[in-house]
Structure 1
Amino acid sequence: MIHQGDHWVKFNMHHDRVKSLDIILSNEEKSGYCPGETVSGHVVVEVSSVTNITCLRLEVRGLAQVCWNEGPQREWLRSSTRPSLAQQVKAEMDCLSISQAICEPTDSTGVISLNAGRHEFPFQFELPSRPLVSSFCGRYGRVRYWITALLHSIHHPQHSVSKDFLVIDHVDVNSPLLLCPLSKNGEKMIGAWIFTSGPISLKVNIERKGYCNGESIPIYAEIENCSSRLIVPKAVIYQTQSFLVGGRTRCCRQVVASVRGNHIPSGCSDSWNGKNLKVPPVTPSILNSPIIRVEYSLAVITQIPGARKLEVELPIVVGSVPYDDFSRSSSISSQHSADLSWLTLTLPELPEAPPNYADIVTEAEFEQHVPSSPSSSCPSHQHQCEELERQLGRPLFAYMQEFRFQPPPLYSELDPNPLAANGCSST
């Protein structure tokens, strides 16, 4: 077996006609595959002369493995005669198993003849839609997915090559459980008995529980220092790896990101109004495996000289499906679509149309302002009035009264005479 990069190639080097065997994925730059996605590529076989093969198969495996040594790690009193008491604890769990034939004989001979040269055999398979454990490599365990191509020939041993690929499980931070805000308080009294100098109080809030890689977490905190010491606050993101086998547990905890605040002297306080802490590129939370768990938490810590630190810790989830503020707003508005009466309270009222002339002018006012009828002795004047009414499309007196009794113009924010308003009239 020969290791080539992330490939493992196994074949007999003596009188073997197969020069190389390789697996090439269609999208080599893809960071990872999610459940339900299709993985495609081709197997490359290069032979030096005519070679008869019986089958070319593809095996896809996913495996979670845990292993550690428990007990004393050194020999008793440095004596080589006493055996080590260390006990190995290990467990495995299958995550994925797919098998398919890429190339099989189509005639009664049962063989496929490959001429000398390079041959490519395409393949594709679909990952199951069920939840899969994300790829992971930790101190005491790992989750690994790989593809193995098996080449069977007649007169030569089986050839195989393996290639790893990453799987990222769906962890949607838009789920209702991960959109809830979190809050926690903490307090610590400095000193003992009659030598107490005062408490240090801490209150921390975050807007939601789920975040993705590259996203910043706004931290809201109130820190009050009533002690006699100078304190230094900071925020960190912890990653906790848990490995479980038969009731036994091994845990590893490490800081993956941190940000420091300003010093707070004695008798002073400080507020964080959205101090940002960026989530680094880490493995998403693994919560669906019985033997491996990867969890995250956000902690705000105050370092106190001469005393133990005060720490407030909030659990968070690192997901793979990013936060969608637009869809969240759309879902909220769809929930209130049945009752939109609240919306009219915020909309400005439309301007009313001018009132009808007949509605605001009484008949007495109308008779009072009606002009006297032209004298019948003046036919030319009567002819002019009739011609004007024909052009206006209405009686002449109605046209004049409409302008006389018209309401004032609508209010406008724009000044029609800006120069006159500023005292800069041109007159």
Structure 2
Amino acid sequence: MLFDRLKRFAIVLEGAERGAPAAFSPGQAVAGRVLLELAAAARLGALRLRAGGAARVHWTESRSAGSSTAYTQSYSDQVEFLSHRDTLLAPPDNGEVTVLQAGRHEFPFTFQLPETLATSFEGKHGSVRYWVKAKLHRPWSTVKKVKKEFTVIEPIDINTPALLAPQAGAKEKLARAWYCNRGQVSVTAKIDRKGYTPGEVIPIFAEIDNCTSRAVVPKAAIIQTQTFIARGTKKQKKSVVTSIVGDSIAAGKREVWHGRALKIPPVGPSILQCRIIQVEYSLKVCVDIPGTSKLLLELPLVIGTIPLHPFGSRTSSVSSQYSINLDWLSTIPEQPEAPPEYSSVVSSPEAEQSLAPPCRSELGGVLEGPFFAYIQEFRFRPPPLYSEIDPNPPSDNIRPRCMTC
């Protein structure tokens, strides 16, 4: 039997560290070899290779059809990104079989990735995966298969005008309890830009006015929203990536954040161009108000892969000059602390519209999976030079202090 003589059958991709999947960006050439080690001579039919990549979503929902009946509705869809086939060892034209002698045999291969690919991703209701499969055929015997997965990182350059634009917003809420007005709470927040990379610190500039009769607590968090689309229906999962809690603000007082730091932990980049899977991020500044729902202000974020170039222009893209750096994929970070519950940083109405808040055991999965083991060796910018001019002047839309403050 062939498989009694087969000592090793494996796929090796160039550029892969030992024990870690290889990583590529769209448009790159993927090269590797199929290793075949035989203990004795064997007759083979063919050795075929297939590379593939696809996004898949699937979930089920139970629906009531009456007081005592129910049925389950399934939703699924698939988008294929990559399909490549090759024959590494073909049988002779005369119909005979190929005889390989004992020892080690290598069969090299290479193929080109398309220019447009979605980033590898593992989610609760879907995934984006890429792989290489090899099949070893022998007459009158079962087919031997081996599979090797690899990671694709779609480059997202934050050095673009859209992602370098500042983000700001303001909201207010009237605190009510037992149909009595207890005053108003307002929040104004601003961040320097929309695009960031993992490891960077987001400086939050915010002003919270507490015109109520009770103390309130401000918070800020980065929220990841996974959206799965199938048959015109959407399914979402929201998770807290990281958060900070501010000091309690007494009744009739104002709190100002002068660049309160919120560090981005190891997370996957945004996925915005896939038809059935999207991964989006947002910065949410909320205020816990006793006796009523939270005041929530949301600012959009994009998590990229190409960090900010300190010498580049803030009004033009430098993506054509700098390509994605994949050297950091060999660095495996320490496991971060579990983030807080999603319900602790969102308002009650929004929590009811989304999925049930994840428990602590589920939150750990946000930073797990094949992709989340990779994170860039972060490069921080040097501190700014001293200047007499305030680099962050107060915004004109900041609300004036209330009369009771």
Structure-1-length-normalised TM-score: 0.68
* Residue 108 (structure 1) shift: 5.7
Specify the alignment match of 1:86 in structure 2. Answer: 72
Task: Give the structure with the higher percent helix.
Answer: 1
Task: Answer yes or no: is the 8 Å Cα contact 1:189–1:196 preserved in 2.
Answer: yes
Counterpart in the other structure of 2:258 = 273
Give the CA deviation at 1:185: 0.2
1:64 and 2:68 correspond: no
Pair 1:27-2:18 in alignment: no
Whether the 8 Å CA contact 1:16–1:156 is kept in 2: the answer is: no
Work out which of the two has the higher radius of gyration on C-alpha atoms and give 1 or 2.
1
Alignment of 1:289-368 (within 5 A): 289-328=274-313
Q: Report if aligned partners of 1:240, 1:252 keep a CA contact under 8 Å in 2.
A: yes
Matched, 1:136 2:121: yes
Letter in 2 for 1:45: L
Distance 1:40 1:76, change over 3 A: farther
Q: Which residue of 2 aligns with 1:47?
A: 38
Report the 3-state secondary structure (helix = DSSP H, G, I; strand = E; otherwise coil) of the residue aligned with 1:178: helix
Which SS does the other structure have where 1:328 is aligned?
Answer: coil
Query: Residues 181-209 of structure 1: CA distance to partner in whole angstroms, max 9, x if unpaired?
Result: 11100111123698323211100101111
Aligned mates of 1:69, 1:187 — CA distance in 2: 38
Aligned equivalents of 1:52, 1:121: Cα separation in 2: 16
For residues 277 and 31 of structure 1, the distance between their equivalents in structure 2, rounded to whole angstroms, comes to 31
After TM superposition, give the deviation of residue 40 of structure 1 in Å: 2.3
Aligned-pair CA distance for 1:110: 5.7
**Counterpart amino acid of residue 138 in structure 1:** G
Q: For residue 332 of structure 2, what is the aligned residue in structure 1? A: none
Give CA deviations for 1:73-99 in whole Å, capped at 9, x if unaligned. 99996xxxx7x6112221111111112
> Structure 1 stretches of 5 or more lacking a match?
1-12, 333-427
Percent identity between the two aligned chains: 42
Quote the Cα distance in structure 2 between the aligned partners of 1:194 and 1:248.
Answer: 38
Q: Which amino acid aligns with 1:90?
A: S
CA spacing shift, 1:47–1:322, aligned 2, 3 Å:
same
Change in Cα spacing, 1:72 to 1:195, as seen in structure 2 (3 Å) is closer
Question: Shift of the alpha carbon at 1:276?
Answer: 1.4
CA distance in 1, matches of 2:229, 2:99: 50
Is the 8 Å Cα contact of residues 177 and 291 (structure 2) preserved in structure 1?
no
| 1:177 corresponds to 2:159 | no
1:8 — aligned with what? none
Structure 2 equivalent of residue 198 of structure 1: 183
What residue number does 2:107 align with?
A: 121
Alignment deviations for residues 49-75 of structure 1 (CA, whole Å, 9 cap, x no partner): 212223322211001111111224999
Letter in 2 for 1:43: V
Name the structure 1 match of 2:366: none
Cα drift, residue 43 of structure 1: 1.3
Give the secondary structure class of the aligned counterpart of 2:157: coil
Which protein has greater RCO, CA pairs closer than 8 Å, 6+ apart? 2
Q: Secondary structure at the match of 2:24?
A: coil
Aligned position for 1:240: 225
- Where does 1:92-171 land on structure 2 (aligned, <5 Å)? 92-104=78-90, 111-129=97-115, 131-171=116-156
For the 8 Å contact 2:269–2:304, the answer to whether it is kept is yes
Q: Which amino acid aligns with 1:163?
A: K
One-letter amino acid of the counterpart of residue 89, structure 2: C
Flag the 1:176–1:106 CA change in 2: closer, same or farther, 3 A. farther
Contact residue 301 and residue 310 of structure 1 kept, 8 A: yes
Q: Is the 8 A contact 2:36 2:106 kept in 1?
A: yes
1:228–1:158 distance in 2 versus 1, CA, 3 Å: same
RMSD (Å) for aligned C-alpha atoms? 2.8
Which 10-residue stretch deviates more, 281-290 or 202-211? 281-290
Say which of 250, 264, 267 aligns to 2:249.
264
| TM-score (norm. length: structure 2) | 0.71
- Residue from 208, 212, 222 that aligns with 2:207: 222
Partner AA of 1:149 in structure 2:
A
**Partners of 2:174 and 2:183 within 8 A in 1:** yes
Q: Which moved more, 1:249-258 or 1:37-46?
A: 37-46
Matched, 1:282 2:284: no
1:122-173: per-residue Cα shift (whole Å, max 9, x none)? Answer: 22322122x2111111111111111101222334332211111111112111
Q: Specify every segment of 5 or more residues in structure 2 that has no aligned partner in the other structure, as ranges.
A: 318-405
- Alpha-carbon offset, residue 106 of structure 1: 7.5
What SS is found at the alignment partner of 1:326? coil
Q: Say which is worse superposed, 52-61 or 284-293, in terms of deviation.
A: 52-61
How far did 1:107 drift? 7.8
Q: Quick one: which amino acid aligns to residue 51 of structure 2?
A: V
SS of 1:191's equivalent in the other structure is: strand
Is 1:212–2:197 an aligned residue pair? yes
Maintained 8 Å contact 2:219/2:243: yes
Report the AA paired with residue 217 of structure 1.
I
Q: Which runs of 4+ in 1 moved over 3 A?
A: 13-17, 72-77, 103-112, 192-195, 329-332
Q: Name the CA shift for 1:14/1:26 in 2 (closer, same or farther; >3 Å).
A: closer
Q: Matches of 2:258 and 2:210 in 1, distance apart? A: 18
Residue aligning to 1:346: none
Counterpart Cα distance in 2 of 1:36 and 1:313: 35
Q: Distance in 2 between matches of 1:162 and 1:35?
A: 21
Instruction: Find the counterpart in structure 2 of residue 381 from structure 1.
Output: none
